[in-house]
Amino acid sequence: MSVVGFDVTDGVAVIVLNRPEARNAIDREMALGVANAIARVEMDHDIRVAVVTGAGDTFCAGMDLKAFLRGEAVKLQGTGLAGMTQAKLTKPFIAAVEGYALAGGFELALACDLVVASEDAKFGLSEVKRGLVANAGGLVRLPRQLPIKIASELVLTGDMFPASRLAAHGMVNRLVPAGEALSAAMEIARTIAANGPMAVSVSRRVLNESLGWPLDELFERQNELTMPVFKSADAREGAAAFAEKRAPVWRGE
């Protein structure tokens, strides 16, 4: 059985980290499998959204330390840990978290656009407890997604936080009963997949890139990316579908 599952339904890809016997820890084989799954998502125009989840009762325990000691490379050139944390993603990714999202597993969730977590899920950047550092996104993404004092506590103590605490600070989009994270993530994914793909892609890009833009250039840079959307076939289709009271048929152009 593959260590990374991949399935597509109604424009939504589900990527499953599938090493439950190792709490879905990332070894070389899994890293290559996730990288391949992401490449499939990016290349397939019919895939609009991707959901990342873990098999069994754990999302991901991070880098497999036994693989680390064996010298296995789980950070891939150009795309980072599991081929994901530094990948140039152009489509929305949603993390569906059950159980533990630790170290590199937490960093995979941080690389996603949205996070859905079960009420008993736990998150932590435990690298410092092993003499390591969270350089697969934890140190640079966490202070952009949480208040700096909360981010500092997570990074410097290496302790685990319950999903409810992260939700209180806006890092978890939805808290759901245990066992329902994937179904809740799929509900969000289907909503996104039903929207105009060009509009979603450009909106996502502006949301992420504008954080680093100078304030006096915000609207100029935004307009460079967004004005073509208003001239697109999809924009005309969206308006026509609304007027005709029917579902739009998107072309992605």
In terms of domains, do 185 and 210 share one? no
* Predicted TM-score of the model (pTM): 0.95
pLDDT (tens digit per residue) in 111-126: 999 999 999 999 999 9
Is 147 part of a structural domain of the chain? yes
Closest CA to 94 of 70, 113, 66, 119: 113
pLDDT (tens digit per residue) in 159-184: 999 999 999 999 999 999 999 999 99
pLDDT (tens digit per residue) in 181-229: 999 999 999 999 999 999 999 999 999 999 999 999 999 999 999 999 9
Q: Are 171 and 146 in contact (CB under 8 A)?
A: yes
In terms of domains, do 215 and 156 share one? no
In terms of domains, do 188 and 225 share one? no
- Give the list of residues 6+ apart from residue 81 with CB closer than 8 angstroms, or none: 26, 31, 63, 74, 75, 104, 107, 108, 136, 137
In terms of domains, do 232 and 117 share one? no
In terms of domains, do 92 and 177 share one? yes
**Which residues are marked as active site?**
107, 127
In terms of domains, do 86 and 130 share one? yes
Q: Can you tell me which residue has the tokens 């330390």? A: 65
In terms of domains, do 107 and 230 share one? no
Is 236 part of a structural domain of the chain? yes
In terms of domains, do 206 and 116 share one? no
pLDDT at residue 108, as a whole number: 98
Indicate whether 67 pLDDT > 90.
no
In terms of domains, do 136 and 171 share one? yes
Domain of residue 116: give its range.
Answer: 4-193
Is 121 part of a structural domain of the chain? yes
- Structure tokens, 122: 């736990």
Q: Are 13 and 46 in contact (CB under 8 A)?
A: no
- Structure tokens, 188: 């969000």
Is 252 part of a structural domain of the chain? no
Residue 95 sits in a domain whose CATH number is 3.90.226.10
In terms of domains, do 205 and 170 share one? no
- Give the list of residues 6+ apart from residue 122 with CB closer than 8 angstroms, or none: 99, 100, 101, 102, 160, 161, 162, 163
Cα(28)–Cα(162) distance, integer angstroms: 29
pLDDT at residue 1, as a whole number: 62
Q: Can you tell me which residue has the tokens 């990527």? A: 15
Residue 253's pLDDT band (cuts 50, 70, 90)? confident
Number of domains forming the structure of the chain: 2
Q: Are 25 and 69 in contact (CB under 8 A)?
A: no
Is 14 part of a structural domain of the chain? yes
